[in-house]
């Protein structure tokens, strides 16, 4: 595939909806230059939901705004619908309204003095769609989003969840096939957020639009994504299906971000295929090698999630089992989280049906080897 031509010389069905090549963006600030994006390349296929997941300041919004045309990248190329919309080398920057995409923001961004109906119709009015066509498309969007009875209301008369539905209806009505979402659910309370998230999944199935969806919430990411790109200061650290990302994080950064909050340092003691046995401060620990380049004797980190541990009061002597003491237990509604100490090391454990345990209670911890990821100590490289 040559990216130098004006359109992709491939079959339409195989043409990605969005292609980003070597995109960089730096901002000049009073404190110097900030690199928001450092050489990002990725494709979003048609009908796919790609979630950009990462902590605050890693460049998620900047990447979305570059795709939309609201931000000018410093260098690189962007293709949307198979058309080149940005190229630093060619000094090409297509304006946002020509890119055939819609955006849904965290802050809803509705016109306060227009009714729900007028807000939803707005992109169609701007692009001079005929009156009858506007009526039927808005009616359909109102129906799909359950907003029919609010058509004559103003945004100020609606709840946050209802306002975000209006923004969603406005994006759907434009029928561009590509919607960019910037943390659209993060201003809503937990229950509304979950309901709207599920409705969004249903609507995506129904309308088959392509989405680039920004969030810093790993559960939202897993629920919505066909693929997740985990962002780390201006670049994609790992791109894969939710299963790949959660079960097989490739770096310590990704593992940590998706909730592998337990980290034990050690040296690689033995390798048997993918099975890696690590000599740690708590004893020998079996896990899965993440990198074929790992060698016996390497400094490594073993990481695992609190929910991939088990607590027993009876003692046994299987591998990956250790004597521990409870330091504290916290009841979190659906489960109990314990902080335990094993040979001086602090571990976070989770039990779904477990009981609160008084501080000092001796326990036996089992760590599931298939869920322990063993990484190179980054400092070596
Ligand atoms: N207009 C700007 N001027 C200067 N620096 C900026 C500007 N916009 C973003 N940045 C910087 O670029 C980096 C990436 O910002 P961005 O808004 O893309 O992060 P984000 O991942 O969306 O974060 P959040 O989760 O907090 O929304 C940050 O360091 C930010 O301070
Ligand atoms: Mg942001």
In the predicted model, is pLDDT for residue 89 greater than 80?
A: yes
Alpha-carbon span 240 to 222, nearest angstrom: 11
- DSSP state, 355? P
pLDDT of residue 340: 95
State the virtual CA torsion across 233, 238, 243, 249 in degrees, nearest 10.
-80
Ligand 1 centroid to 167 CA: how many Å?
23
Apex 259 CA angle, 254 and 264, nearest 5: 80
Position 2 confidence tier, pLDDT thresholds 50, 70, 90:
very low
Q: Which residues have CB under 6 Å of ligand 1?
A: 27, 29, 34, 36, 54, 56-62, 216
pLDDT of residue 7: 46
Buried b / exposed e over 112-130, threshold 16 CB at 10 Å, is eeebbbbbbbbbbeeeebe
Task: Compute the mean pLDDT over every residue in the chain, rounded to the nearest whole number.
Answer: 90
CB atoms within 10 A of CB 227: 18
Apex 217 CA angle, 54 and 175, nearest 5: 90
Strands 102-104 and 92-93: unpaired
Alpha-carbon span 107 to 339, nearest angstrom: 38
In the predicted model, is pLDDT for residue 346 greater than 50?
A: yes
The structural domains of the chain, ordered by start, are 12-101+176-247 (3.40.50.300), 261-380 (2.40.50.140)
Alpha-carbon span 349 to 342, nearest angstrom: 12
Mutate to test the pocket of ligand 1, among 33, 52, 59, 216 (most ligand atoms within 8 A of CB): 59
Q: What is the mean pLDDT of residues 192-217?
A: 91
Q: Please report the atom of ligand 1 found closest to the CA of residue 28.
A: 4
pLDDT single digits (tens) 31-62: 899 999 999 999 999 999 999 999 999 999 99
Beta bridge partners, 304, equal 262
Alpha-carbon span 64 to 263, nearest angstrom: 33
Percentage of the chain exceeding pLDDT 70: 94
């Amino acid at each position: 595939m040559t990216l130098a031509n004006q359109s992709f010389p491939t079959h339409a069905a195989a043409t990605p909806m969005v292609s980003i090549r070597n995109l960089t963006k730096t901002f000049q600030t009073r404190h110097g230059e900030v690199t928001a994006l450092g050489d990002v390349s990725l494709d979003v296929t048609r009908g796919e939901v790609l979630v950009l997941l990462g902590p605050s300041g890693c460049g998620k919004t900047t990447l979305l705004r570059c795709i939309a045309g609201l931000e000018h990248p410093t260098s690189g190329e962007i293709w949307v619908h198979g058309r080149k919309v940005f190229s630093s080398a060619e000094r090409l920057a297509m304006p946002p309204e020509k890119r055939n995409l819609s955006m849904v923001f965290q802050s809803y961004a509705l016109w306060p003095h227009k009714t729900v109906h007028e807000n939803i119709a707005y992109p169609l009015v701007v692009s001079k769609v005929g009156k009858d066509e506007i009526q039927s498309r808005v009616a359909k969007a109102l129906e799909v989003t359950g907003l029919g009875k609010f058509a004559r209301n103003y945004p100020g008369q609606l709840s946050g969840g209802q306002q975000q539905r209006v923004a969603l209806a406005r994006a759907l009505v434009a029928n561009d096939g590509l919607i960019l979402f910037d943390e659209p659910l993060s201003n809503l309370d937990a229950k509304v957020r979950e309901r709207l998230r599920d409705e969004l999944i249903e609507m995506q199935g129904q309308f088959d639009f392509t989405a680039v969806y920004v969030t810093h919430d790993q559960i939202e990411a897993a629920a919505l994504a066909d693929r997740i790109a985990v962002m780390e200061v201006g670049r994609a650290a790992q791109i894969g299906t939710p299963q790949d990302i959660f079960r097989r994080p490739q770096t310590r950064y990704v593992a940590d971000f998706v909730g592998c909050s337990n980290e034990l340092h050690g040296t690689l003691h033995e390798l048997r295929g993918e099975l890696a046995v690590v000599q740690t401060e708590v004893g020998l620990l079996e896990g899965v090698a993440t990198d074929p380049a790992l060698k016996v004797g390497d400094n490594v980190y073993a990481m695992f999630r609190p929910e991939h541990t088990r607590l027993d009061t009876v003692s046994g002597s299987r591998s990956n089992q250790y004597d521990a003491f409870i330091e504290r237990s916290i009841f979190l509604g659906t489960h109990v989280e314990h902080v335990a100490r094993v040979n001086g090391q602090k571990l976070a454990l989770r039990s779904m049906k477990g009981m609160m345990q008084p501080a000092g209670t001796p326990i036996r911890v089992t760590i599931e080897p298939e869920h322990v990821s063993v990484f190179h100590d980054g400092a070596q490289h």
